[in-house]
Amino acid sequence: EVQLVESGGGLVQPGRSLRLSCAASGLSFDGYAMHWVRQAPGKGLEWVSGISWNSNRIDYADSVKGRFTISRDNARNSLSLQMNSLRPEDTALYYCAKDTSSYYYAVDVWGQGTTVTVSS
């Protein structure tokens, strides 16, 4: 069974940093693109960032560009999201998600999410 488990969420003050991690199991991790998708309380889904299977293609939503950095370690089956200069509007449940393809196509596996709260 494919499983994605996020960690690293928590309460952080505006302007500070946080690093999210996602551990993948049950799949050939290096065969798929990966994504971070977030959902603010009571709101819809927002795609945050994506990374191709070999890290050659990395993309961000405009709302996080220049502040967030996505990375992956295929040897460790892990995905990360470094979040700097956090803002209250970054408060959300952050999902780690697997693509069906080595590039961007569709998301077929989601983690349970990790909650990030940005507040003073």
Partner 1 sequence: DIQMTQSPSSLSASVGDRVTITCRASQSISSYLNWYQQKPGKAPKLLIYSTSNLQSGVPSRFSGSGSGTDFTLTISSLQPEDFATYYCQQSHSPPLTFGRGTRVEIK
Q: Please identify, using beta-carbon distances, which residue of 18 and 111 lies nearer to partner 1.
A: 111
Q: Please identify, using beta-carbon distances, which residue of 35 and 72 lies nearer to partner 1.
A: 35
Amino acid at 104: Y
Q: How many CA atoms lie within 13 A of 38 on its CB side?
A: 23
In whole angstroms, give the CA distance from residue 51 to residue 60. Answer: 9
Residues 15-74 interacting with partner 1 (rule: CB under 8 A): 35, 37, 44-47, 50, 59-62
- Tokens 């299977």 correspond to 53
Contact 38, 92 (CB under 8 A): yes
The CB-of-19 to partner 1 minimum distance in angstroms stands at 21
Contacts of 28 (CB under 8 A, 6+ apart): none
The CB-of-94 to partner 1 minimum distance in angstroms stands at 11
The CB-of-38 to partner 1 minimum distance in angstroms stands at 11
Binding site for partner 1 (CB under 8 A): 35, 37, 44-47, 50, 59-62, 95, 100, 104-108, 110-113
